[in-house]
Amino acid sequence: MDTSTIFKAYDIRGLVGSELTPAIAKRIGNALAQWLPLQGPVTVGRDMRPDSAELADALIEGIREQGRDVCDIGQVTSDMIYFAVGHYQLAGGAMITASHNPGAYNGIKLCREEAKPIGSESGLHAIQALLETPVTGETPGALTQKDCVTDWISHVLSFIDTSALKPLHIAVDAGNGMAGKIFPALQQHVPFTVEQLYFELDGTFPNHVANPMLPEALVDIQQVISQKGCDAGLAFDGDGDRAVLLDEKGQPLSGTVLSALLAEHFLQNNPGQTVLLNAICGLAAYEMVEAMGGNAVRTRVGHSYIKADMREQNAIFAAEHSGHYYFKDNFMADSGLIAAVIGLAVLCESGQSLSELARPLREKYQALTETNFTVSDKQAVIEKLAEAFAGEQQDMLDGLTVRFADRSWFNVRPSNTEPLLRLNAEAPSKQRLNELTTLVTNILQG
């Protein structure tokens, strides 16, 4: 059984039918049940893709045949799996989803007790190794169904003062993903008028790719914000664990800007606490943490690293430039809905428009959209860059980061799965950003 192509750095993902099949999902369920350190039930959820139910059933069968009980929570967002494992004190969890990937793909996200991540360095390869030796228990584990939506929404709302919410008019694009099922349950508890876009669950994604980090995925919601005069917009990815907040002009808040606003929110009432920001988050977020008296700590890109670092540092909040936001009181796990709700609460309490709130943070620095370069020898190119900028401040926390005296910086880090180097850069002005980008690009392409 060749599964080398589907076991990634942070999850399992592949083409349905050729790379990821019910038979393989069953083996993965059995291996997960063997590997989990704690005894006890495992929870399983799934997204709305056409083949997710079949894959979930196979995964559940594999877990049960090892003798473990399974709690099936049905169609949910990925962040609800983390919540269920932590809230109900289960041994682990599995979510059938390929997030924002096209409909031909599917995948499995795994976690252990307390919603701790299972990635390439924290158990995923060990589970892969167990696929060849399935274990059958004397008595199959029991299967129960549970609806955890009510508990989840109560948990989400516990992060804000609901009495301070104002009657906002917002647009929400669920992208035909799982947020279309869960967001209506939130609407019952908030004074928002909601313009719904693509709330119909459809894993073929007939309207646009369910990745709100891509400009083309925001065109429709931007039109609705303009036409309806909305105060803000929310766009979710396919499995609902990422959300992009848009202002009343239809402009998305970058991961750095929203990270800064969320960090400010947490540190207002918790001064001196630690906030984690990944290695390519913009300086405006770091500067906000410092201005609020917090302790800003850089961490590697990737949820398994961030969640581990959060526990080690006892961080109250963590953020990635890619739109993943992590919360201490959410079992150190990420959630698009929690981030969105806090962002809207901050807007309500500010007395400003969202563009006014974001303006000082947006104007501080100019950032390059992450750009990929195909190279034959990733490490050799990184070493060449390090030598070219040997006189500047450098670190190798995640790829190569080079910082300059004028507060500009760039990071080049290797892809885990492809012959690519990913370039991020930031500078105090557009001219300086262009100069820096040209210098680095010439070396990358040389």
Residues annotated as catalytic are 99
Which residues fall within 8 angstroms of residue 234, CB to CB, at 6 or more apart?
Answer: 170, 171, 172, 173, 243, 244, 245, 246, 340, 344
> How many helical (H) and strand (E) elements, i.e. helices and strands, does the chain have?
14, 20
Token digits of residue 225: 């914000």
Beta bridge partners of 96: 46, 108
What is the three-class DSSP state of 287?
helix
What is the three-class DSSP state of 105?
strand
Q: Which residues of 70-80 are buried (b: 16+ CB within 10 A; e: fewer)?
A: bbbbbbbbbbb
Alpha-carbon distances, residue 343 vs 228, 232, 338, 361, 367 (angstroms): 20, 10, 8, 15, 22
* Maximum pairwise Cα distance, the chain: 69
- Give which of 186, 356, 161 is closest to 257, Cα–Cα: 356
- Give which of 223, 160, 220, 216 is closest to 192, Cα–Cα: 160
E-state strands within 213-327: 232-236, 243-246, 274-278, 295-299, 317-319, 325-327
